[in-house]
Amino acid sequence: MPARPTFDLVVAANRLPVDQVARPDGDIEWQRSPGGLVTAMESVMHDQAGAWVGWAGEAGAAPAPFEDSGIYLRPVALSAEEVRDYYEGFSNDTLWPIYHDVIVPASFHREWWSAYEKVNRRFAEAVVEVAAPGARVWIQDYQLQLVPALVREARPDVRIGWFDHIPFPPVGLFAQLPWRLQLLEGLLGADFLGFQRRADAQNFVRACRELLNAKTQRDTVTVPGSDRRVRASAVPISVDFAGLDELARRPETIARSREIRTSLGDPKVLMLGVDRLDYTKGIQHRLKAYHELLDEHRIGPPEVTLVQVATPSRERVEAYRTLRDEIEQTVGRINGEFGQIGAPAVHYLHHSHPREEMAALYLAADVMLVTPLRDGMNLVAKEYVACRYDLGGALVLSEFAGAWHELHQTFACNPHDIEGLKQTILRAITTPDKEKRRMMRALRRRVADHDVQRWAARFLGALDIAPERPSLDPSTGHHHGDEPDMRSNEARGMTQ
């Protein structure tokens, strides 16, 4: 039996970067997923062979490992019970609420934790199987927080990084988890932990200090019972700026954006919301503010209209089914009160759209509403900016999105303050075009400079030098590895 191939770079994520799609003839084919993480990894794996460990998306036996676009894919099996308990249960009904400020209550079930442990062990075994001696292993997100320690236990030779795509909660919230110590110990198996915001990294370090009694210094944690140090730092994720910019400039995208506006009755102002249907996204708060603006006759169809795209999400989790019902009732009520024949006040789309259609929507929208109650980053804000090569549009952005810490030239809002949100929407509509163009130019410069390829290069550069902090760079006054610049990565030839 031939030896299994091994790789110098291994990525582990809950999902593989491809989805199974049924062809008209009934055969199954694999199509590349549209997510930002896939785009980032493509750029990193372009120059070196790499493996990706993940679930194929269907309950039952895993397909045999296979190659796609030069990446070796190692599927992990999940039974229907594990999808329910590990994914829908512990990941999305226990961890997700705690990590997002308990916007809805978290559920604690021992059998869910048991499934989470079991699945994390299976992921770790798959990583160990495909990692070459001395490999770099990059584990993604909150579903796999036990994997770093499990991999380290089996393979102390590899370099382990973990990136948190969602917020990491303050210790007062995190401490509610009955399995808080196991999660922290799992993460401390890594050499470098990357977070979206500096506050998230600080929350993790504080949790280690207060709950594990670990010794901490600035952004490093000394693992209790050893002299090994782990570094936790902010490396905010981004989008494929060049790809989105090119897509938005295509004649067919421009034509489609005009077609969208025409089909909506050529409103003077087209407002757009694009979200996964999730209670963290603030869709209800946004609709409430819009409803009140309509009620006060400050805006109204057909001059002003709102398109709300709500991508289906976790529909077997009770909180998500309830949210969908509430939003659909609210949309119906607004359209019943304020819609006109041929001109509804809200155009509500509850399905996902291809990348090309999203680019056309972004290009068509005068005001982009990104108003989450809590979000690790929110890449929609950056996608909108990347698509606005014309310098048009205005971005209304919640202070509680990670993106707000980078994108300063926006119409910032607190979505809990409905009156303030209304005023911000009106400002985004009425601010002179010249000022909005100046703001958009600054936003585009930021996103272009800090794109997804740079994010991946920064993370891997930080992993290579962690946990020891490099010396001060005299040209910048920053420590190598400090925000906002990680010149040490460039010095190591990590940028693409």
The one-digit pLDDT tens for each residue of the chain (496 residues) are 567 899 999 999 999 988 887 777 877 788 877 666 777 777 777 767 899 999 998 999 999 999 988 899 999 999 999 999 999 999 999 999 999 999 999 999 999 999 999 999 999 999 999 999 999 999 999 999 999 999 999 999 999 999 999 999 999 999 999 999 999 999 999 999 999 999 999 999 999 999 999 999 999 999 999 999 999 999 999 999 999 999 999 999 999 999 999 999 999 999 999 999 999 999 999 999 999 999 999 999 899 999 999 998 888 888 888 999 999 999 999 999 999 888 899 999 999 889 999 999 999 999 999 999 999 999 999 999 999 999 999 999 999 999 999 999 999 999 999 999 999 999 999 999 999 999 999 999 999 999 998 999 999 999 999 875 443 333 333 444 344 333 333 323 332 2
How many whole angstroms separate alpha carbon 171 and alpha carbon 192? 20
Whether 7-234 shares its CATH topology with 242-449 is answered yes
What architecture does CATH give domain 7-234? 3-Layer(aba) Sandwich (3.40)
How many whole angstroms separate alpha carbon 277 and alpha carbon 349? 11
How many whole angstroms separate alpha carbon 262 and alpha carbon 254? 13
- Spell out the residues 6+ positions from residue 223 whose beta carbon is closer than 8 angstroms to its own: 188, 214, 229, 230
Find where tokens 């055969």 sit. Answer: 27
Cα 320–Cα 108–Cα 416 angle in degrees, nearest 5 = 45
- Distinct helix (H) and strand (E) counts, the chain: 18, 18
Q: Read off the pTM.
A: 0.91
How many whole angstroms separate alpha carbon 244 and alpha carbon 77? 34
CATH class of 242-449: alpha beta
Q: Domain spans of the chain?
A: 7-234, 242-449
> Which phi and psi (to 5°) does residue 368 adopt?
-100, 125
